[in-house]
Amino acid sequence: MTALSPASDLDQPATTVTGAPQANDPTAPAPSVARDVEDTARRAKTASRTLATATRATKDAALHALADALVAATEEIVAANAEDLGRGRENGTSAGLLDRLALTPERIVAIADALRELAALPDPVGEVVRGSTLPNGLRLRQVRVPMGVVGMIYEARPNVTVDAAGLALKSGNAVILRGGSAAARSNEVIVEVLGRALAAQGLPADLVQSIDRHGRPGAVALMHARGLVDVLVPRGGADLIQTVVRESTVPVIETGVGNCHVYVDASADQASALEILLNSKTQRVGVCNAAETLLVHADAAPQFLPAALTALDGAGVVLHGDPRTAELAPDGIEILAATDDDWAREYLAPEIAVRVVPDLDAALEHIRTWTSGHTEAIVTRDLASSERFVAELDSAAIMVNASTRFTDGAQFGLGAEIGISTQKLHARGPMGLAELTTTKWVVHGDGHVRP
């Protein structure tokens, strides 16, 4: 297993039963690790109370300070990242996953800019969701408040370290990070830089903490810090996410893998469809909103598929297809026989599965069978087809004549995202500032008593 395999450091269940690890469980964290993680969570809880009452001006100033500190520490961060990249190459990590891990001066500037963009967004804390005055005169308001302490378990994405810290800060939360061994040095340096910047702003450095030093046992302890950690967000491969969902006693917001589909309808503008397909698949292959399956209506296939397959092959994409796809492939382009594993696969690599379908009904059925519930796209000029596609599919995001790559917090105007939720409770789709808050009811009376 490589250092950045989908399962990463959490590829085996932590316990065999729901709840805290058992005393005789060999995978349970040592008492010293459990105590240290608990102490980390207690400090985060205390720090979160300070931030919960901070003004927007204070939080926005801190976000700008974090951005400036990251840019100033570029050389230090890139050097630490080079250590992680070197270790990843030695372990045979794929090019796509190395790309997710890599930090360059340009990427650090972009990460810092994302923090500044967060500062420009409205503060969700204190927003009145709804309110009314009851017939008896009681005045009700439902207002947004911080979650408190947010835990993050994620893989090989040092930019997530910054995104999580920024989103937590703006939404009034403290955050505890477990970023995985693949990005250990990068995350260590980033957390140090962020902590120094927070302290310089008069805010607790404990608002952003890492438990990476404890490895997998620390992640297990974090999963069982119920009462100290208010919500846990796993972000990574399917095995990591399911392990956290299965083993955590802390409430979990489940992010999902991205087996995303692009469907080219019979009426599609084929030039536009080709551009959308290539952007969805090749703009960046190692991300959850990249397309993994192409479905083409049988009437569009004879003209569209030869050009599409040629373009994908020219971009270095490995092609898995059904028999009709193989028939329509130009000479010299290899089509590997697609299996059920391909239809279910999130490749996170320059690979795609291709199927010709007889009609929209068949496309919908294929997607319902194999989707992970992340993002689906239809390219069509038929309004009825687009309306059916939107109404009959139940994924977190549906694109009509647009690339799947737009399912992203920044692209949606939410600022950075802490993850993309494919579940239906509390949050769904890209999770920005509002999704890191909960609500409380505030009731004002004038000596009211219940009869």
How sure is the predictor about 375, in pLDDT bands with cuts at 50, 70 and 90?
Answer: very high
Give the contacts of 340 (CB within 8 A, at least 6 positions apart).
Answer: none
Residue 415 has pLDDT above 90, yes or no: no
434 vs 422: CA distance, rounded Å: 16
430 vs 269: CA distance, rounded Å: 29
Percentage of residues in the chain with pLDDT exceeding 70? 94
| Mean local confidence (pLDDT), 405-410 | 90
Q: What is the per-residue pLDDT across 124-141, written as a single tens digit (0 to 9) for each?
A: 999 999 999 999 999 999
What per-residue confidence (pLDDT) applies to 157? 85
Q: Are 429 and 407 in contact (CB under 8 A)?
A: yes
Residue 5 has pLDDT above 60, yes or no: no
179: which 2 tokens?
């970023």
What per-residue confidence (pLDDT) applies to 97? 81
Q: How far is CA 157 from CA 96, 389, 399, 440, in A?
A: 12, 33, 26, 33
Which of 302, 298, 333 minimizes the C-alpha distance to 315? Answer: 333
pTM of the entire structure? 0.81
Q: What is the per-residue pLDDT across 34-60, written as a single tens digit (0 to 9) for each?
A: 999 999 999 999 999 999 889 999 999
Residue 117 has pLDDT above 70, yes or no: yes
| 119-123, 202-206, 411-415: segment of lowest average pLDDT | 411-415
What per-residue confidence (pLDDT) applies to 23? 44
- Structural domains of the chain ordered from first start: 8-255+431-441 (3.40.605.10), 260-406 (3.40.309.10)
Which of 407, 437, 417, 427 minimizes the C-alpha distance to 160? Answer: 417
140 vs 299: CA distance, rounded Å: 57
Residue 109 has pLDDT above 60, yes or no: yes
Residue 398 has pLDDT above 80, yes or no: yes
| Mean local confidence (pLDDT), 296-316 | 98
What per-residue confidence (pLDDT) applies to 440? 96
What per-residue confidence (pLDDT) applies to 2? 31
328: which 2 tokens?
């329509």
What per-residue confidence (pLDDT) applies to 27? 56
Which of 58, 110, 122, 109 minimizes the C-alpha distance to 413? Answer: 122
Cβ-based burial of 154 (10 A; exposed 0-12, middle 13-18, buried ≥19): buried
Over the chain, what HEC string results? CCCCCCCHHHCCCCCCCCCCCCCCCCCCCCHHHHHHHHHHHHHHHHHHHHHHCCCHHHHHHHHHHHHHHHHHCHHHHHHHHHHHHHHHHHCCCCHHHHHHHCCCHHHHHHHHHHHHHHHHCCCCCCCEEEEEECCCCCEEEEEEEECCEEEEEECCCHHHHHHHHHHHHHCCCEEEEECCHHHHHHHHHHHHHHHHHHHHCCCCHHHEEECHHHHHHHHHHHHCCECCECEEEEECCHHHHHHHHHHCCCCECCECCCCEEEEECCCCCHHHHHHHHHHHHHCCCCCCCCEEEEEEECCCHHHHHHHHHHHHHHCCCEEEECHHHHHHCCCCCCCEECCHHHHHCCCCCCEEEEEEECCHHHHHHHHHHHCCCCEEEEECCCHHHHHHHHHHCCCCEEEECCCHHHCCCCCCCCCCCCCEECCCCCCCEECCCHHHEEEEEEEECCCCCCC
What per-residue confidence (pLDDT) applies to 16? 31
How sure is the predictor about 21, in pLDDT bands with cuts at 50, 70 and 90?
Answer: very low
What per-residue confidence (pLDDT) applies to 133? 97
What per-residue confidence (pLDDT) applies to 30? 79
What per-residue confidence (pLDDT) applies to 256? 73
Q: Are 286 and 100 in contact (CB under 8 A)?
A: yes
What per-residue confidence (pLDDT) applies to 31? 85
Q: Are 167 and 146 in contact (CB under 8 A)?
A: no
Q: What is the per-residue pLDDT across 138-161, written as a single tens digit (0 to 9) for each?
A: 999 999 999 999 999 998 789 999
How sure is the predictor about 237, in pLDDT bands with cuts at 50, 70 and 90?
Answer: confident
Give the contacts of 3 (CB within 8 A, at least 6 positions apart).
Answer: 87, 88, 91, 93, 181, 182
| Mean local confidence (pLDDT), 63-78 | 98
Q: What is the per-residue pLDDT across 171-211, written as a single tens digit (0 to 9) for each?
A: 999 999 999 889 999 999 999 999 999 999 999 999 999 99
Residue 24 has pLDDT above 70, yes or no: no
What is the CB neighbour count within 10 angstroms for residue 153? 28
What per-residue confidence (pLDDT) applies to 425? 83
Q: Are 434 and 129 in contact (CB under 8 A)?
A: no
Q: What average pLDDT does the structure give for the chain?
A: 91
Which amino acid is it at 373?
Answer: G
Cα angle: 344, vertex 303, 402; to 5 degrees: 55
* Alpha-carbon Rg for the chain in angstroms: 24
| 74-78, 289-293, 307-311, 417-421: segment of lowest average pLDDT | 417-421
What per-residue confidence (pLDDT) applies to 4? 33
Residue 426 has pLDDT above 50, yes or no: yes
| 43-52, 118-127, 253-262: segment of lowest average pLDDT | 253-262
Residue 241 has pLDDT above 90, yes or no: no
389 vs 119: CA distance, rounded Å: 36
